[in-house]
Amino acid sequence: MSALTDAIARSFTVREPGRPALSPMRALGRRQLSGVEVLAQSVATTAPAVSMVVLPVTMLTHGHLLGGMLTILAATVAVTLIAFCLSQFTRRMAAAGGLHSFAFRGSGSRAALTAAVAMLVKYVGSAVMTLYHGGQAVIALFAFAGIGAPAPIVYPVLAVCILLCLVRSVRFAAIAILAIETCSLAFIVGLMLFGDSASQVAIVPPTSGHGMLALMLAALFALAGFESAAFFGPEARRPLVTVTRTVLLTPVICGSLFVLAGWSAWTGRSDTLVNAYLHGTATGVSPLVVIVLNVGLCCSWLASAMSSSNAASRLVYSLGVERVLPSWCARVHRSFRTPDVALTLVVGVVLLGGGTFAILGTGVVFGDLRLVVRGAVIVAYVVVAVASVLFLSRIGEQTPGVLAAGALGSGAGVAVLGYLLYVNMIDASYVVPIAVIVILASGLSWRSHLRRRRPDALLRMGAFDSAETADVLPGAGLFAADATGETILVGRGGR
């Protein structure tokens, strides 16, 4: 009690710093998201309802049932190890830059910029694909009702609705995403558990002979997106606790759902679901089931497009705060305190990509985009896993568990990425290898550009939500200027 009394007494005698300490993330609506809302963002990014349909289709198409189950389990373990590595950062800092900011703390500016490029490719690419599929589902639903819905009208309307939801409020978007995804999951899980297992599924011939690789990538990508919670650390009420729990729980929750999906394919309980997804009512599935399934998948796709765009906007905002991108990327809406400029930019790019595929067709390009996005997310995971090991070693808090998780997680990522590149090379398909090389080289080239044109950006990199003067009892902390001249809270030793 005497210590508290002394601290209170000291607070009246200590002078405040002449220039107050302000968090770089203070423009966002700090401390407003609950744990459930952060979890909704993370889970929706993975689009579990869609993945619970796609994984059984992939298993049945390539004829790998037991192998598919084991692959889903292995992918869940590998992604959980990556999540454990990521949690070493989330329990220590809240950053709107997510993996980009964490990689900087562990491995420096080159790794941080590489992670930023990989994450932008991942989230924007995912949003493009899910918006495309969601728009096609909307057009199909209108067709069921006998209404023609042209793509040039459907896609801009969907994009505007997504943008309005995201700009209105991060909480509004999270609640909408949670409601949509919960309803979709409830229907699909119910159909798997109680669906007819007597019908024979009509398989579509595989487009690739590399079935095991297709299963690996589908399982890994189905779990990718759990890290999107880290982009909302500054906006969470208890960021160091909430974000860490979400990062660790999401792979377990989604992995359990995907194991259920694999089991349903193995036992034949997914036959009705797969037939409805691939062939509609042509195989005798009830029209009501087909319509409800399309509604569920449509909602899940659009929720994933919304959450992916949301996460990408926070990364663009963070890069704007750091001056890595133009400063106008860091502008926020005056009333809603959301990064409206970054959101408009991201949703505009997503609309351009999804609308182009809808009008001109997908072809080979869509498949290449899917593989590039999956390669990009593996690169980002390997970078952050290695960065976590280096970070804890530097601050003297390394543990055998983190070291093992980093080695196994990054090793699994490198193995899958190497397998992906090898398969594309022997198939004489060079889009994915070139894209991966460009992503890996982006950090070095971007850093060289910043050194010549914006050297101050390298000093601002890795910005995270730091304590402000108003957050600290006077006399309880020391404040000093950092390399950019901003006042920050420092340790007792002045570091």
Determine contact, residues 389/403, Cβ cutoff 8 Å. Answer: yes
For residue 14, pLDDT over 80 is answered with: no
- Does residue 25 fall inside a structural domain? no
Nearest-angstrom CA–CA distance, 444 and 272: 50
Q: Are residues 491 and 347 in the same domain?
A: no
Cα of first residue to Cα of last residue in the chain, in angstroms, is 29
How far out from the chain centre does Cα 407 lie? 22
% pLDDT > 90, the chain:
55
Residue 220 is inside which H or E element, if any? helix 211-223
Between the alpha carbon of residue 173 and those of residues 5, 230, 309, 420, the distances in Å are 44, 16, 11, 35
Residue with tokens 């189950």: 69
Give residue 248's pLDDT: 96
Mean pLDDT across the stretch 417-435? 91
Give residue 19's region: left, alpha or beta (phi > 0; psi -120 to 50): beta
Residue 208 tokens read as: 């690739």
Query: pLDDT tens-digit profile of 357-369?
Result: 999 988 879 989 9
Is residue 364 domain-shared with residue 477, that is, in the same domain? no
Q: What is the mean pLDDT of the chain?
A: 87
Residue 262 shares a structural domain with residue 136: yes
Residues 476, 393: one domain? Answer: no
Measured distance CA(284)–CA(128) in Å, rounded:
32
In a domain, 4, yes or no: no
CB 58 within 8 A of CB 214: yes
Q: Is the pLDDT of residue 442 over 70?
A: yes
Q: Strands, E, within 265-347: which ranges?
A: none
Encoding tokens for residue 226?
């759990």
Q: What angle do CA 76, 224, 41 make, to 5 degrees?
A: 115
The closest alpha carbon to 231, from 117, 96, 127, belongs to 96
CATH number at residue 450: 1.20.1740.10
Give the pLDDT confidence of 73-120 residue by residue, as tens digits: 999 999 999 999 999 999 999 999 999 999 999 999 999 999 999 999
> Do residues 377 and 245 share a domain?
yes
For residue 192, tell me if it sits in a domain.
yes
**Percent share of the chain, pLDDT over 70:** 88
Q: Does residue 22 surpass a pLDDT of 80?
A: no
Between 464 and 208, the higher pLDDT residue: 464
> Is the confidence at residue 341, as pLDDT, over 80?
yes
484 domain residue, yes or no: yes
* CA angle at 202 for the pair 75 and 212, rounded to the nearest 5°: 25
Statement: residue 458 has pLDDT above 80: yes
Q: What is the number of other CB atoms lying within 10 angstroms of the CB of residue 368?
A: 16
- In the beta sheet, which residues pair with residue 236? 33
Q: Across 134-148, 194-208, 478-492, which has the greatest mean pLDDT?
A: 134-148
**pLDDT number for residue 223:** 93
- Using 50, 70 and 90 to split pLDDT, how confident is the model at 322? very high
Same domain as 235, residue 92: yes
- Do 174 and 135 reside in the same domain of the chain? yes
**Closest to 261 measured CA to CA, from 75, 40, 45:** 75
Q: What is the pLDDT of residues 55-75, one digit of tens each?
A: 998 888 877 788 888 899 999
The whole-angstrom separation of Cα 145 and Cα 30 is 44
Structure tokens belonging to residue 24: 């770089």
Q: Is the pLDDT of residue 18 over 70?
A: no
Q: Is 275 contained in some domain?
A: yes
Tally of domains within the chain: 2
In the numeric block, the tokens 């899958």 are attached to: 416
Is pLDDT at 439 greater than 60 in this prediction?
yes
- Taking the mean position of all CA atoms in its chain, how far away is CA 389? 22
**Tally of CB atoms within 10 A around 170:** 27
In a shared domain, residues 458 and 469:
no
Residue 437's φ and ψ, nearest 5 degrees, are -65, -40
Residues 471 and 443 in one domain: no
pLDDT score for 475? 59
Residues 323, 231, single domain; the answer is yes
> Cβ(163)–Cβ(344) under 8 Å?
yes
Answer yes or no: is 16 within a domain.
no
Mean pLDDT of 380-385: 97
Mean pLDDT of 188-213: 66
The reply to whether 63 and 111 lie within a common domain is: yes
Domain for residue 10, yes or no? no
Q: Which helix (H) or strand (E) is 327 found in, with range?
A: none
| Full DSSP string of 420-441 | HHHHHHHTT--HHHHHHHHHHH
Same domain as 126, residue 41: yes
Q: Is 18 inside any structural domain?
A: no
Domain residues for the domain of 428 are 32-464
